[in-house]
Amino acid sequence: MSKPITGFSKLSKSKKIDWMVDTYFSNPVEAKAVLKQYWNSNDKLQQLHDEFIENTISNYYLPLGVAPNFLINDKLYTIPMAIEESSVVAAASKAAKFWLERGGFKTTVISTTKIGQVHFNYKGDFEKLKQFFDQVKPKLVADTEVITKNMKKRGGGILDIELRDKTADIDNYYQLHASFETLDAMGANFINSCLEQFAKTFKAEALSFNLFTEEEKHIDIIMSILSNYVPDCLVRAEVSCPVVDLSESKTVSGEAFAKKFIQAVTIAEVEPYRAVTHNKGIMNGIDAVVLATGNDFRAVEAGVHAYASKNGQYSSLTHAKVENGIFSFWMEIPLALGTVGGLTGLHPLVKLALELLHKPSAKDLMQIVAVAGLAQNFAALRSLTTTGIQEGHMKMHLMNILNQFEASTEEKHILTNYFKNNTISHTAVTEALNKLRVSSEK
């Protein structure tokens, strides 16, 4: 049984690894070798990666792929995608090519406002608190001048601060609800710094507000933190074409395809069990680009799924219709992204990804990421309502199964050809590989 360790963070990287492999692994030498084989041979680059987080022991690789032929607002893009799941990049590429010939994707940034809150308790008369807030609000802004100076020069900064009464939810609970414009930065550190200064000023000024009783003067700050729910940092992505142009097959008309496709979207709009998987497919595309560009996919995920529930029930993020013979498929989605700050100026592959995307502004990146999500959803629904999702996915997954069984190059070649005309499943691949190996031994 392993024992707790003290002072782990103070150990060198090598000592951390020695303790870990000796404590948890049956073959410490092999475990250490696996970790070290993922170290970068460039010591300076490895140190950069080591310093991104704490207690680093190695690098964890994800494949970085690209999906070409995305026509967005009449400009061509090749989109970088960092993801481990088979068929995502292929599906995005296929959707991009489909819409390239039908006018491409159209996008609009609707708004870019971000939110932060100071949460606090106040025991007393709300009207006096409101008078205090109205009086102190200009000072809240003034006291953040050192923080906001550079952001304001670029056209961003604090947009507004509101006092919100939340006592119907929790006794004595109130908020300072602040809105921000952070331009090309995602802005988390900027927003949190402003909020913490708001809290300091608010608490200090309350002590000298002459209308407060002694108890009312002692406002209790709970926490100051940005929100990853950004319903006013919104982008729209859409595609459209005549219904007759939807068909790529003589067996399925454009009208039949559109009817089934729209019904599939409608099901996701009303059925939460379907909506979760439907939206997960959207996030396959979105997360892959968010990761490749050094942004926070966890924050994006949280905000997007909250937005999908904004009407009281979890629902589809995408929508579709046919009107006057025109098929339309669209999505409005909240995306708080940055192209400066964080990893964007540090990680070499992030810098490369952003250059590949023509060095986008945050607004540009919002549009590109939204398109990746819409394309992914279109490709998934197209497969689901025609050939089925497994046909394409399992073809892409075949190589993973073969690698799991350490298939040779020759075995991969033979079985890839075999499964062009046979149903792929884990069991079928296992049996075919075993049969091939038995026959080769004779």
User: What's the pLDDT tens digit per position in 206-219?
Assistant: 999 999 999 999 99
What's the whole-number mean pLDDT along residues 8-12?
Answer: 96
What's the whole-number mean pLDDT along residues 2-14?
Answer: 92
3-state secondary structure of 178: strand
Residue type, 19: W
How far apart are the two ends of the chain, measured CA to CA in Å? 48
Q: Is 160 in contact with 92 (CB distance < 8 Å)?
A: no
In terms of DSSP H, where are the helices of 25-85? Answer: 28-36, 43-50
Which of 18, 50, 85, 216 is flagged as catalytic?
85
What's the whole-number mean pLDDT along residues 137-161?
Answer: 97
The confidence score (pLDDT) of residue 136 equals: 98
The confidence score (pLDDT) of residue 429 equals: 83
Q: Is 416 left (phi over 0), alpha (psi -120 to 50) or beta?
A: alpha
Distance CA 303, CA 234 (A): 11
Judged against a pLDDT cut of 70, whether residue 82 lies above it is answered with: yes
Distance CA 403, CA 416 (A): 12
% of the chain beyond a pLDDT of 70:
97
Residue 162 CA neighbour count, 13 Å, CB half: 8
Residues 6+ apart with CB under 8 A from 125: 216
The confidence score (pLDDT) of residue 248 equals: 73
Q: Is 177 in contact with 212 (CB distance < 8 Å)?
A: no
DSSP state letters, 413-433: HHHHHHTTSS---HHHHHHHH
User: For residue 221, what are the β-bridge partners?
Assistant: 120
- Pick from 195, 220, 201: nearest CA to 124: 220
% of the chain beyond a pLDDT of 90:
83
**Is 296 a catalytic site residue?**
yes
**Is 393 a catalytic site residue?**
yes
What's the whole-number mean pLDDT along residues 76-82?
Answer: 98
* H or E element at residue 371: helix 362-384
- The one-character DSSP state at 220 is E
Distance CA 431, CA 427 (A): 6
Which of 184, 196, 296, 364 is flagged as catalytic?
296
**Is 280 a catalytic site residue?**
yes
Which of 32, 119, 278, 393 is flagged as catalytic?
393
What's the whole-number mean pLDDT along residues 281-310?
Answer: 98
The confidence score (pLDDT) of residue 120 equals: 98
Judged against a pLDDT cut of 70, whether residue 391 lies above it is answered with: no
Which of 13, 137, 280, 395 is flagged as catalytic?
280
Query: Is residue 389 very low, low, confident or very high in pLDDT (cuts 50, 70, 90)?
Result: low
Distance CA 258, CA 70 (A): 22
Judged against a pLDDT cut of 70, whether residue 390 lies above it is answered with: no
Give residue-wise pLDDT tens across range 27-49: 999 999 999 999 999 999 999 99
93: how many CB neighbours lie within 10 A of its CB? Answer: 21
416: how many CB neighbours lie within 10 A of its CB? Answer: 14
Distance CA 415, CA 432 (A): 8
The confidence score (pLDDT) of residue 424 equals: 76
Give residue-wise pLDDT tens across range 170-218: 999 999 999 999 999 999 999 999 999 999 999 999 999 999 999 999 9
List C-alpha distances in Å: 159 to 58, 194, 202, 297. 42, 12, 18, 25
* H or E element at residue 391: helix 389-404
The confidence score (pLDDT) of residue 394 equals: 61
Residue 260 CA neighbour count, 13 Å, CB half: 16
Query: Is residue 406 very low, low, confident or very high in pLDDT (cuts 50, 70, 90)?
Result: confident
List C-alpha distances in Å: 160 to 115, 230, 374. 10, 15, 32
Judged against a pLDDT cut of 60, whether residue 129 lies above it is answered with: yes
The confidence score (pLDDT) of residue 1 equals: 55
Judged against a pLDDT cut of 80, whether residue 134 lies above it is answered with: yes
Judged against a pLDDT cut of 70, whether residue 112 lies above it is answered with: yes
- To 5 degrees, how large is the angle CA 350–CA 356–CA 357? 95
- The one-character DSSP state at 103 is T
